[in-house]
Chains A and B, each alone.
Chain A
């Protein structure tokens, strides 16, 4: 084990933990809020079951606005809001707020796209069988779109890791922040490289898992 890694063991483990918290909360937000939001976006589109021009326009606009913010500016812009919910704008907990918001916007768009890939006829057949909206969503749409939903989440998680690396600006910590403060700013290039390698490893693992799961559940 290289000496620098042993020397900074405690900090490295702590920063990995911080990254896990930030990315974990992002994933939760993506699944718990992004998935329903993306589904609603899809359903409120023209020609879909809950077609509603006003609802679609508003949702579409909000998602676009959040996604068009340069992320660093979004973090700054959200400081008052973060303070309102967390009580402070500094630290790992505070960092999860902007991350959760971008996560929701990011994943909801990918959910919408995956659902658009489901053949219309499948939804039509479901309705003709007397399926309610809830049945259509859970027993048909999600079943048919499941590999797209998994691949979308995989792409999103990797983006969340990337977003989490800049949360050092609000004291969020994480591997990226550690690599910058200890590796880059203190000229410990070797340490920085190791941190980049750790992130690369995470990304590879997530992509591999996501791709494999998506392939296994795709029977189309």
Chain B
């Protein structure tokens, strides 16, 4: 689905990514983990050419992105969804307007917009919030809106840049649950960059560990699943007690 071949990216004198090759299979959830500065975010951003590689090629969904014209690249990006750590919603647009934006950009027939937006919002469980502004939402809700926006054009791939890193454990589970069901129900290939080990263990089928801008190792995993977390205070007490026992 995604193939990076010997990609290299340099910022000024700093080599962010050197000679990275990796392959993401269709339909899997692929993780990339590493310390900060290991180049994992850059690798993700190379996948939709938000960063242009200094060398190497990027192939995604059968198209060699590195050889496309600007216009072709824009068209291809319509079916590559992306979400970010800071959500990056347009604060002056309502939830509905945020999600409809990619449909307009892709030039989909106007008559289909409303239905599609509501469908995506329903998928992330935020249909009732369509007229709210991002400032009125919690972090987890914002990320779910961002996911709905990324899903609008029925992408084949969803790139996630630290999708849960500014969320608390409850909302992390909530967002991971949504990502998991996107993968299972819609068959979307997902790439997740994160520094959170738990995130990788819970959802990823395969993970690449990066260090100093290179691939350190790629391993197969059996995802442990997203834990059921609730806001019941008893749950917090339980968790704390359990942690205490483990330490002892």
A and B together in one complex: yes
Whether B163 sits at the interface, judged by CB under 8 Å, is no
Bound CA–CA A119/B89 (angstroms): 10
Closest chain B residue to A130 by CB distance? B77
List chain B residues, Cβ under 8 A from A219: 91-93, 133, 135
Whether B108 sits at the interface, judged by CB under 8 Å, is no
Binds A, one of B99-107, B190-198, B218-226, B230-238: B99-107
Whether B123 sits at the interface, judged by CB under 8 Å, is no
B57-97 residues at the A interface, CB under 8 angstroms:
73-78, 80, 82, 84, 86-93
Report the minimum CB–CB distance from A152 to chain B (whole Å): 16
B32-69 residues at the A interface, CB under 8 angstroms:
48, 50
A/B interface sample: 14 pairs, CB < 8 A: A121-B88, A124-B50, A125-B146, A127-B77, A129-B101, A129-B105, A130-B73, A130-B74, A130-B102, A130-B105, A131-B105, A132-B74, A135-B105, A220-B91
Closest chain A residue to B94 by CB distance? A219
- Beta-carbon contact of B74 and A131 below 8 Å: yes
The residue from A129, A143, A146 contacting B77, defined by CB atoms under 8 A apart: A129
List chain A residues, Cβ under 8 A from B78: 129-130
- Chain A interfacial positions (CB closer than 8 Å to B): 119, 121-122, 124-132, 135, 139-140, 143-144, 146, 217-220
The residue from B73, B76, B92 contacting A144, defined by CB atoms under 8 A apart: B92
| A interface secondary structure, majority | helix
List chain B residues, Cβ under 8 A from A129: 77-78, 82, 101-102, 105, 149
Report the minimum CB–CB distance from A102 to chain B (whole Å): 30
List chain B residues, Cβ under 8 A from A119: 86, 88
- Beta-carbon contact of A121 and B84 below 8 Å: yes
- Beta-carbon contact of A130 and B88 below 8 Å: no
13 other A-B residue contacts (CB within 8 Å) besides A125-B84, A131-B74? A121-B84, A121-B88, A128-B48, A128-B50, A128-B80, A128-B159, A129-B149, A130-B76, A130-B78, A130-B102, A132-B74, A219-B93, A220-B91
- Chain B interfacial positions (CB closer than 8 Å to A): 48, 50, 73-78, 80, 82, 84, 86-93, 101-102, 104-106, 133, 135, 146, 149, 159
The 7 A-B pairs at the shortest CB distance, nearest first, are namely A130-B77, A121-B88, A125-B88, A220-B91, A128-B82, A130-B74, A219-B133
List chain A residues, Cβ under 8 A from B104: 139
List chain A residues, Cβ under 8 A from B159: 128
Report the minimum CB–CB distance from A130 to chain B (whole Å): 4
Closest chain B residue to A131 by CB distance? B105
The residue from A122, A124, A127 contacting B90, defined by CB atoms under 8 A apart: A122
**Contact of A144 with B48 at beta-carbon distance under 8 Å, contacts A130-B77, A220-B135 already known:** no
- Beta-carbon contact of A146 and B92 below 8 Å: yes
Bound CA–CA A143/B48 (angstroms): 25
**Contact of A121 with B86 at beta-carbon distance under 8 Å, contacts A128-B48, A128-B77, A129-B78 already known:** yes
Report the minimum CB–CB distance from B82 to chain A (whole Å): 4
Bound CA–CA A131/B159 (angstroms): 17
Report the minimum CB–CB distance from A151 to chain B (whole Å): 14
Bound CA–CA A217/B106 (angstroms): 27
Report the minimum CB–CB distance from A168 to chain B (whole Å): 42
**Contact of A140 with B90 at beta-carbon distance under 8 Å, contacts A125-B82, A130-B78, A219-B135 already known:** yes
List chain A residues, Cβ under 8 A from B91: 144, 219-220
List chain A residues, Cβ under 8 A from B87: 121
Bound CA–CA A122/B141 (angstroms): 17
Report the minimum CB–CB distance from A100 to chain B (whole Å): 30
Report the minimum CB–CB distance from B149 to chain A (whole Å): 8
